[in-house]
């Protein structure tokens, strides 16, 4: 895989935990300048303290669901502060099970805000030619295997993730003339604090059944981060408009 350099400025949202944190750490380890955003300032500070090159990791706390319409301007402000961006990786989000009998429009709207509207508004800011490096720039959306799964209770969450996959396909044509590639990664269950909470709620039998459904085992945030960094690097320069499903053989 092609190494990154400090001139590769990567904005990672959701960087205070899970996959976003793993992406920020790996990009930093490989030499990129990382702008790490999230809601949890102590966790972001721990991220900076634990990274390989602290001088190339910058913390920018932000709740993406607050004042969402200003997200394009926020990206422009980061460009003014750090220079033109090379990559945007949208990892912020949360999973939710919502059976039809409990479907709530406001709760579903919140899912669409964080998983669809926020990434698209960030992409809008990134795609402004004043804010990105042009040829070689890249956007990654974090989707989920829930968009493909025949599982009960995932209509809202899986629907939001399916929407961002559809957006990825459309935007690949829209952004290609600017030299910007855009792809999505759709992992199934990985070992994050969120999934560990889910496991804690299961009975021993249900936990065993879940684990048995993954022939290659449950993934890790680092597994997903490796694929994301590959797509960001020159090694993925001929890939755009794709969703890479990572499910350990689950589906």
Residues constituting the chain: 251
Helices (H) and strands (E) in the chain, counts: 9, 7
The Cα–Cα gap between 19 and 21 comes to 5
State the pLDDT at residue 129: 97
In the sheet that 87-90 helps form, which strands lie side by side, from edge to edge?
57-59, 33-36, 9-13, 87-90, 137-142, 180-187, 243-246
- Does position 56 have pLDDT exceeding 90, yes or no? yes
The Cα–Cα gap between 195 and 12 comes to 21
The Cα–Cα gap between 251 and 248 comes to 8
Q: What is the pLDDT of residues 119-158, one digit of tens each?
A: 999 999 999 999 999 999 999 999 999 999 988 999 999 9
Set 157, 198, 214, 251: catalytic member: 157
Res. 167 pLDDT band, cuts 50 70 90: very high
The Cα–Cα gap between 250 and 190 comes to 12
- Does position 198 have pLDDT exceeding 80, yes or no? no
Strands (E) in 108-193, as ranges, are 137-142, 180-187
3-state helix vs strand vs coil in the chain, percent to 5: 50, 15, 35
Sign of CA dihedral 188, 192, 123, 239: negative
- Does position 5 have pLDDT exceeding 90, yes or no? no
Q: Are strands 9-13 and 33-36 parallel, antiparallel or unpaired?
A: parallel
Contact at 8 Å (CB) between 156 and 108?
yes
Contact at 8 Å (CB) between 248 and 219?
yes
Q: Which domains does the chain have, with CATH numbers?
A: 9-192+221-246 (3.40.50.720)
Res. 37 pLDDT band, cuts 50 70 90: very high
Give the whole-number percent of the chain exceeding pLDDT 70: 99
157 is a catalytic site residue: yes
Strands (E) in 8-128, as ranges, are 9-13, 33-36, 57-59, 87-90
């Amino acid at each position: 895989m092609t190494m990154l350099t400090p001139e590769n400025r990567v904005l990672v949202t959701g960087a205070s935990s899970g996959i976003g944190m793993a992406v920020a750490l790996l990009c930093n380890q490989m030499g990129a300048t990382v702008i790490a955003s999230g809601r949890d300032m102590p966790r972001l500070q721990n991220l900076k303290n634990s990274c390989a090159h602290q001088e190339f990791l910058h913390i920018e706390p932000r709740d993406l669901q607050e004042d969402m319409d200003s997200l394009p301007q926020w990206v422009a402000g980061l460009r003014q502060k750090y220079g033109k961006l090379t990559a945007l990786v949208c990892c912020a989000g949360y999973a939710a099970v919502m059976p039809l009998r409990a479907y709530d429009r406001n709760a579903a709207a919140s899912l669409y805000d964080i998983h669809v509207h926020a990434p698209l508004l960030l992409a809008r800011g990134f795609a402004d030619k004043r804010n990105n490096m042009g040829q070689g720039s890249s956007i990654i959306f974090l989707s989920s295997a829930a968009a493909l799964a025949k599982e009960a209770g995932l209509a809202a969450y899986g629907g939001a993730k399916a929407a961002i996959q559809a957006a990825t396909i459309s935007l690949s044509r829209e952004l290609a003339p600017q030299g910007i590639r855009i792809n999505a990664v759709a992992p199934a269950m990985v070992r994050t604090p969120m999934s560990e909470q889910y496991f804690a709620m299961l009975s021993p039998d249900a936990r065993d059944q879940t684990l048995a459904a993954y022939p290659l085992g449950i993934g890790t945030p680092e597994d997903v981060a490796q694929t994301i960094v590959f797509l960001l690097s020159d090694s993925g320069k001929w890939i755009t408009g794709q969703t890479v499903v990572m499910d350990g053989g689950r589906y």
